[in-house]
């Protein structure tokens, strides 16, 4: 019988090593991302410039992400991850060196953000695809949800550390610490027992790998709708490095509160990811319901009366957001051919992260020229609209899912097979 434990993937030693290293590394990454937003905002005082920094960081994902997924499907994902994680460490150390030397200006920060994005475009499908090789097939959904929990849960610690340490240490040393934190994930990749891995068959060279993945999604109304809703929500609802920074400064008169708000959303993200990981099967209803929680709590957070209330409301925002992301990942992987996993994960990353170059500058413009509150709320309203349309399109599938849940489970010969 399949276990529904939230942490069942961690019975595999390789998964323990990988997720432990990933947690340490991503605490450093979130510390750097928070410090970078603060440095840019302190230089100009404009949320738009923070949005442009994110545009530079995630533009390579938009341009190259799908192709990078095809590359990951054709090569060793472990070796790719070793290379990309090492390059990210080098970028962080270079950034820290420039800041400590007193060389800080927007073109330099934009350029180094673009370099980081270029590496991330290849790291994302390789690293996330490698997660599926750590565990047995029945545990892939749980492992992907734990991956989301670690990636977003590190936001509990990283931004809080940035908020506390930026003043006494300076941003330069925070960037240096992030560079050193990559030793944890690189070390775990080196220590993993390769004989216990379950590598997917590599995709054949040649052909049209990216178009094949797009055709696979486009031919399935169910997956196509989920991808479209995911893209719309990812574009406008997750630009926290812009909206929460402006909201913290204008509404609560505290840039330190920015790190605390990110940490609170990170706490919620852990809960949302683990709740998704505990489900044996993730359904479209769970995906859409998570979007509703994200949208409603985001609107409430935008007009919270004080920082304390905002911190409380940030938790359900994180829960809904992480469950939404994890649900999309798991649903796609539940229906993915083994040799297409890297490409479909990359397309998901393009839909979510690759859309940031569009959403982040728009969010910055809304923050600077409309209001800090609406820079968060407009994405929440868009989320609710997208989820409502998705629910209408997926209504037949949702009805079948409810009927299946209501019927007692009777084993069949097909189930046994």
- Tens-place pLDDT, residues 271-298: 998 888 788 888 889 999 999 999 999 9
**Nearest Cα to 36, choosing from 159, 155, 208?**
159
User: Span 261-277, mean pLDDT?
Assistant: 87
Q: How many Cα atoms sit within 13 Å of 191 on the Cβ side?
A: 15
Query: 172-190 as b/e, with b when 16 or more CB fall inside 10 Å?
Result: bbbbbbbbebbbbbbebbe
List CB contacts of 56: < 8 A, sequence separation 6 or more.
110, 111, 113, 114, 117
What Cα–Cα distance (Å) separates residue 210 from each residue in 14, 129, 130?
30, 16, 19
> CA 326 to CA 346: how far, in whole Å?
14
As a whole number, the mean pLDDT across the chain is 84
> CA 396 to CA 73: how far, in whole Å?
33
Q: Looking at 18-32, 232-246, 253-267, 324-338, which range is the least confident one?
A: 324-338
> CA 91 to CA 162: how far, in whole Å?
18
Is the predicted pLDDT of residue 342 greater than 70, yes or no? no
Token digits of residue 251: 């509404």
Q: What share of the chain is helix, strand, coil (3-state, %, to 5)?
A: 80, 0, 20
342: Cα separation from own chain's centroid: 16
Q: What is the pLDDT of residues 309-321, one digit of tens each?
A: 999 999 999 999 9
Q: What is the pLDDT of residues 163-174, one digit of tens each?
A: 888 888 999 999
Instruction: Judge contact between 148 and 273, C-beta under 8 A.
Output: yes
User: Span 16-38, mean pLDDT?
Assistant: 92
Provide the pLDDT for residue 405: 43
- Using the structure block, give the residue that is written with the tokens 């893209």: 231
User: Span 387-392, mean pLDDT?
Assistant: 94
Provide the pLDDT for residue 148: 77
**pTM (2 decimals)?**
0.74
Provide the pLDDT for residue 341: 66
What element of type H or E holds 380? helix 372-393
List CB contacts of 265: < 8 A, sequence separation 6 or more.
155, 240, 244, 314, 315, 317, 318, 321
Instruction: Dump the DSSP string for 231-294.
Output: HHHHHHS--HHHHHHHHHHHTTS-SHHHHHHHHHHHHHHHHHHHHHHT-SS--HHHHHHHHHHH
Provide the pLDDT for residue 207: 58
Contacts within 8 Å (CB) and 24+ apart, 300-309: 301/376, 302/247, 302/373, 302/374, 302/376, 302/377, 302/380, 303/373, 303/377, 304/251, 306/252, 307/248, 307/252, 307/254, 307/257, 307/260
Instruction: Judge contact between 124 and 65, C-beta under 8 A.
Output: yes
> CA 338 to CA 137: how far, in whole Å?
10
**Nearest Cα to 15, choosing from 142, 158, 113?**
142
Is the predicted pLDDT of residue 229 greater than 90, yes or no? yes
Token digits of residue 280: 């044996």
- Count Cβ atoms within 10 A of the Cβ of residue 131 and give its class: 0-12 exposed, 13-18 middle, 19 or more buried: buried
User: Span 332-361, mean pLDDT?
Assistant: 74
Provide the pLDDT for residue 411: 35
User: Span 345-351, mean pLDDT?
Assistant: 73
Token digits of residue 115: 């370099």
Structural domains of the chain ordered from first start: 8-192+209-404 (1.20.1250.20)
Is the predicted pLDDT of residue 74 greater than 90, yes or no? no
């Amino acid at each position: 019988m399949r276990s529904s434990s939230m942490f069942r993937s961690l019975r595999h030693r390789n998964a323990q090593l990988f997720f432990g290293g990933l947690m340490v590394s991503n605490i450093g990454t979130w510390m750097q991302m928070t410090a970078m937003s603060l440095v840019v905002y302190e230089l100009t005082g404009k949320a738009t410039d923070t949005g442009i920094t994110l545009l530079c960081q995630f533009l390579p994902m938009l341009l190259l992400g799908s192709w990078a997924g095809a590359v990951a499907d054709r090569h060793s994902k472990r070796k790719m991850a070793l290379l990309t994680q090492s390059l990210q460490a080098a970028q962080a150390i270079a950034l820290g060196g420039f800041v400590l030397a007193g060389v800080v200006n927007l073109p330099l920060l934009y350029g180094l953000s673009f370099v980081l994005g270029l590496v991330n475009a290849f790291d994302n499908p390789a690293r996330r695809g490698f997660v599926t090789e750590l565990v047995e097939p029945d545990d892939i959904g749980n492992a992907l949800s734990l991956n989301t929990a670690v990636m977003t849960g590190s936001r509990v610690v990283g931004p809080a550390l940035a908020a506390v340490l930026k003043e006494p240490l300076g941003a330069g040393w925070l960037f240096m610490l992030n560079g050193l934190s990559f030793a944890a994930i690189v070390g775990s990749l080196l220590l993993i027992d390769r004989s216990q891995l379950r590598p997917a068959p590599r995709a054949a060279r040649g052909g049209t790998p990216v178009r094949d993945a797009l055709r696979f999604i486009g031919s399935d109304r169910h997956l196509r709708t989920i991808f479209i809703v995911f893209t719309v929500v990812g574009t406008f609802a997750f630009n926290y490095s812009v909206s929460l920074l402006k909201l913290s400064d204008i509404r609560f008169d505290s840039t330190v509160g920015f790190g605390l708000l990110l940490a609170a959303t990170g706490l919620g993200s852990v809960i949302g990811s683990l709740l998704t990981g505990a489900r044996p099967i993730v359904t479209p209803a769970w995906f859409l319901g998570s979007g509703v929680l994200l949208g409603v709590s985001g609107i409430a957070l935008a007009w919270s009366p004080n920082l304390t209330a905002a911190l409380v409301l940030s938790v359900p925002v994180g829960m809904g957001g992480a469950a939404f992301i994890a649900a999309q990942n798991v649903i796609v992987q539940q229906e993915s051919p083994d040799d297409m996993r890297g490409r479909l994960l990359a397309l998901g990353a393009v839909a979510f992260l690759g859309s940031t170059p569009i959403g982040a500058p728009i969010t910055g413009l809304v923050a600077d020229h409309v209001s800090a509150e609406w820079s968060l709320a407009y994405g929440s309203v868009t989320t609710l609209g997208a989820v409502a349309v998705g629910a209408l399109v997926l209504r037949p599938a949702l009805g079948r899912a409810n009927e299946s849940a209501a019927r007692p489970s009777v084993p069949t010969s097909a189930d046994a097979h």
